């Protein structure tokens, strides 16, 4: 295994063992964000071989990741925090160069809503992470899986499992066949559902458009959305697809409000910006106690599938 670069030593080995004393976010490039305001991590430390503790801070108000009444953190804030943690560790502990392109393969999160209430100060979750199944290409890491236990004030707020791979920018360009953020444009954004139908405050945050069927919608892809498209992309980001699954659950049960608390998502292929994406919800039990299946389709191809577990609100 290649030795960590000096950057890794600075961010991991010399970071305090607690969040006290951490006064700034990690460099935004390390979590693949352009906006400092969307950078959730504030530091981390290595606790053993392939084991780490990562510290985060969650805002009390956020356009997407805090409930409209500002009382609770959304499950997808957990997903974004854990995603950022994987990128941070890849770059600082496993010598993955900046500029490599990451592909999210699988994401599982289970949340405990009773421990996700917004308090009088920004929450400071602690992530205990174990990395496994490190894939190698030409002797260098090319992907891994990691399990995360997320604690708030000592209580388990969520657990997560992610599988991610990465490749160099040159290889990525070949794989994408010339499709870049500059050469591919998103389709016009169709009118969406009402914000109340999907438990959102703003029309701009609605990602589903009606189709005349209660279990099928068209994905609204607005590349001007500052949270989903924090920087230009050549494909639909995974967090937007997860939000589509969340909103599909809300929209399909208007009279029986179910709260999504767990997601088991497998991403099969890139969702292209210039092709319509259709979202379908099926009453079909899935793994890990989930009770609804959400599919994303482009043409005859399945882009992603997400088994969602819900609780009665």
Are 164 and 103 in contact, with CB atoms under 8 Å apart? yes
What average pLDDT values come out for the chain (313 residues) when binned by 10 residues?
38 55 86 95 95 96 91 95 98 95 96 96 97 94 97 96 96 93 95 94 96 96 95 96 95 80 96 97 72 94 95 78
Lookup: tokens for 189: 């954004």
**DSSP-derived secondary structure for 168-230:** -HHHHHHHHTT--TTT--PPPPPP---GGGGT-SSGGG--EEEEEETTEEEEP--TT-TTTTS
Give me the domains of the chain, ranges plus CATH numbers.
6-175 (3.10.129.10), 182-312 (3.10.129.10)
| Per-residue model confidence (pLDDT) at position 8 | 43
Report the DSSP beta bridge partners of residue 48: 51
Long-range pairs for 128-132: beta carbons < 8 A, 24 or more residues apart: 128/51, 128/52, 128/53, 129/51, 129/52, 129/53, 129/54, 129/85, 129/89, 130/50, 130/51, 131/50, 131/51, 131/52, 131/89, 131/93, 131/94, 132/50
- Cα angle 303-293-262, degrees, rounded to a multiple of 5: 100
What confidence score (pLDDT) does residue 7 get? 36
């Amino acid at each position: 295994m290649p030795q960590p670069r000096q950057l890794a030593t600075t961010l991991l080995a010399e970071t305090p063992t607690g969040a006290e004393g951490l006064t700034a976010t990690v460099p935004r490039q390390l979590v693949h964000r352009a906006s400092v305001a969307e950078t959730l991590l504030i530091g981390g430390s290595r606790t053993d071989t392939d084991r780490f503790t990562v510290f985060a801070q969650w805002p009390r108000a956020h356009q997407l990741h805090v409930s409209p009444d500002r009382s609770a953190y959304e499950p997808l804030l957990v997903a974004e925090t854990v995603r950022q943690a994987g990128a941070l560790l890849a770059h600082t502990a496993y010598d993955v160069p900046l500029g490599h392109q990451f592909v999210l393969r699988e994401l599982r999160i289970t949340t405990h809503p009773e421990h996700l209430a917004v308090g009088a100060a920004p929450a400071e979750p602690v992530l205990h992470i174990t990395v496994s199944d490190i894939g190698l290409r030409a002797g260098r890491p090319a992907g891994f899986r990691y399990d995360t236990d997320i604690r708030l004030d000592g209580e388990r707020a969520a657990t997560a499992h992610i599988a991610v791979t990465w490749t160099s920018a040159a290889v990525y360009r070949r794989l994408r066949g010339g499709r870049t953020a500059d050469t591919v444009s998103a389709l016009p954004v169709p009118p969406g559902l009402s914000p109340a139908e999907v438990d959102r405050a703003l029309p701009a945050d609605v990602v589903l458009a009606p189709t005349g069927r209660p279990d099928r919608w068209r994905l609204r892809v607005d590349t001007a959305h500052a949270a989903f498209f924090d920087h230009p992309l050549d494909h639909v980001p995974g967090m937007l697809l997860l939000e589509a699954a969340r909103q599909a659950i809300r929209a399909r049960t208007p009279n029986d409000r179910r709260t999504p608390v767990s997601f088991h998502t497998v991403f099969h292929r890139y969702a292209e910006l210039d092709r319509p994406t259709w979202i379908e919800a099926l009453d079909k039990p899935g793994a890990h106690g989930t009770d609804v299946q959400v599919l994303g389709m482009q043409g005859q191809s399945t882009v992603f599938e997400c088994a969602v577990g819900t609780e009665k609100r």
